[in-house]
Structure 1
């Protein structure tokens, strides 16, 4: 029976090519516009570490002066070096990581190529385990390496391939500026989106190419990068460890609600202790947000993208209303044909099913057109100077969603026209014929 309905649908669509083309175009435009923006939102709002996002937390403290103080306002987004080291060495979480971003000068061995700059991440030993970083070769360093300021490095696979060949990188010497390091690990493909662990470089920055022990990098005065906020004088020697500035990030892993509650209390007690010591002057003001809460707090998804997504969905609704009108005209004009089928014994249910099959074909065709338009729309997005533009690609999930949405939307749009056509009185229409 389904094959018979398909044959009737194809015959009907061929009889009215202009009307069919208008319906396919309406569906295609609506699907193309909406899927372009939905794909972008899908990528930009994805959980960057779904297996652990509810266990990773970003603590905030308020060590600032009383100048411009307002009760209830959020504390700074980063920590001072002193606070980061205190929280790190307190070890109150399952794992904890202090870090900051930087840029280093890479000098290839033997002068085979010119020196170049590479983005770096200065961090403590738990970084790789806490963020579930995959290794292709070797491994990260240990807490003991942090303490003795070991000159070791972990490379991205891309950089390791460029310098040595990824499978030969472990154990090689790496010259960064005037200091030598030993490569102990190569990270496999890893580039979380959004760049949640450090938003000071942008929510959609690319992952770093070199990872160094935090205390080693700072002691050797490797260049830092990222946001710095100060409320006091900068030290004359330029050593940020002694400054009244926030410039380091900190993450802690807390696996249970009890651990989360305990850490909140710890942050409050720490703030009270630092105030008693004279370091803090403001009342205790702390925050502890998980990954998704941190992304939401920082408004990682631009408001313009969200607005465009809503406008695209509104445009799709307009296209569907136009499709409803076109289908209603098409089905009602076929009243005589449908009445003959009813007179020959076809039930209303059979006629209704026939019309829905026809609408489904229109939906599939519209989905194909919409897919092409969505691909073109995403290509246009990739040409924009925005940091997130490179992410605009149609993945398998959104590809399937395009066709499912097209068919479902068209069938839904066809329900009323099909029901209305089935309600026509066959006897009256046959008499007119």
Structure 2
């Protein structure tokens, strides 16, 4: 019976090609608009590290005081001073922890004919790799002893390894950064968490994959200035030593806490740390601290672009308008066939069978609209760079899940839109139709 209703539906669609084309176009354009913007919204609101997002935390400590916090609705600065970062690293209250900040060393190729390479780079501690689930193609992270020794070690990305060593295993070899040699301990496999949860402050959550990590202690030894934000509430003084002793905030700090009990204990520790700074005379205000896990931190930093949210709402509104028009077209199409419905009912067809016939016919229209919508969605995904920042637009991809979702939304939306026209069609009285004809 299902195949028979499909045949009836296709025959009906061919009988009114103009009406059918209007419905298919309405559904196709509506679905394409919503799926294109959804692909961007899905990418920007993605959980970048689902296995550990509830175990990784950003601690914040108010080292500026209530006057500055009042401007941020009572929130502490969104980064940490060198003094506080080193205090937390020294106390080592988490399972793992790292301070980190972006740096900008130049990679000097061994081939003198090649120009220096500048890649996205960070100074971190060894724990960062295990904390952030960084995969390795060759080798691995440096050891904690290398952090303590301020060693000239480095972890590079697969893309940089391809450039410098043609993809070969480069572990143990050296690269030149700003005229100094560093020993490679590991080559990362493709690692591109989006959003860039570990540093949304400096990247707004999106950017190119990181290709270079060096030890934090080594970067401080070499007086590598941050390549990101540096915020000060007052003059820091002159020179490097004055800067790192100042209350300027420029370091991101992460700690791994295995469960809520550990997180509660860490909050108590942060309050105790801030209270100790108050007693020592460094802070002149009550402790003001925060502890955010990954989803909370991304929400706090408003990583999902406002234009992605607005575009999604607008496109869903457009889809709704298209479906309202589809309801009207289906109603006109179905009621025009009232005599046919009356004859079928007189010959014994039940209302249930009328429902099945017309809903299947609507599903056929939805499938055709979905195929058109799929084509338009592909065009839209490639054209999102006209609306969104390139770092965000590149995340929108037409993959298998988006293809399936596009077809599902098209068919389901059309079937739902067909319920009222189908209900009206099922109410046709056979006797009236037979008398009038």
Query: One fold, TM greater than 0.5?
Result: yes
Is 2:324 the partner of 1:321?
yes
1:165 aligned onto 2:166: yes
Residue from 355, 359, 362 that aligns with 1:359: 362
Instruction: Quote the residue 1:428 is aligned against.
Output: 432
The answer for the alignment partner of 2:145 in structure 1 is 144
Q: What is the CA distance between 1:280 and its match in structure 2?
A: 2.0
Tell me, yes or no, if structure 1 residue 206 matches structure 2 residue 192: no
- Deviations 1:206-258 (CA, angstroms, capped at 9, x unpaired): 22211000010121133421111112333422344223211100011111111
Partner residue in 1 for 2:49: 49
1:367 alignment partner, SS class: helix
C-alpha contact 1:233 1:244 (8 A) present in aligned 2: no
Question: Structure 1: how far apart are the matches of 2:281 and 2:173?
Answer: 47
For 1:299-378, list aligned pairs within 5 A. Answer: 299-378=302-381
What SS does structure 2 have at the residue aligned with 1:228? coil
In the alignment, what sits opposite 1:187? 188
For 2:37 and 2:388, the matched residues in 1 are separated by 17
Matches within 5 A, 1:25-424: 25-64=25-64, 68=68, 70=70, 73-199=74-200, 200-239=202-241, 240-384=243-387, 386=389, 387-424=391-428
Q: Per-residue displacement from partner, 1:393-417 (whole Å, max 9, x unpaired)?
A: 2222221111111111101111111
Do the aligned partners of residues 46 and 69 (structure 1) sit closer, same or farther apart at CA in structure 2, a change above 3 Å counting? closer
SS of the aligned residue for 1:111 comes to coil
| Cα distance in 1, alignment partners of residues 79 and 111 from structure 2 | 40
What CA distance in whole angstroms lies between the structure 2 residues aligned with 1:102 and 1:395? 34
Q: Indicate conservation of the 8 Å contact 2:98/2:125, yes or no.
A: yes
| Deviant stretches of 4+, over 3 Å | 65-72
1:154–1:186 contact (8 Å) kept in structure 2: yes
SS at match of 1:246: coil
Task: After TM superposition, give the deviation of residue 66 of structure 1 in Å.
Answer: 6.2
Could you tell me whether the CA contact under 8 Å between 1:154 and 1:187 is conserved in 2?
A: yes
Partners of 2:223 and 2:240 within 8 A in 1: no
Q: Which runs of 5+ in 1 are unaligned?
A: none
Q: Is the 8 A contact 1:149 1:213 kept in 2?
A: yes
Gapped runs of 5+ residues in structure 2?
Answer: none
- Does the aligned pair in 2 maintain the 1:153–1:212 contact within 8 Å? yes
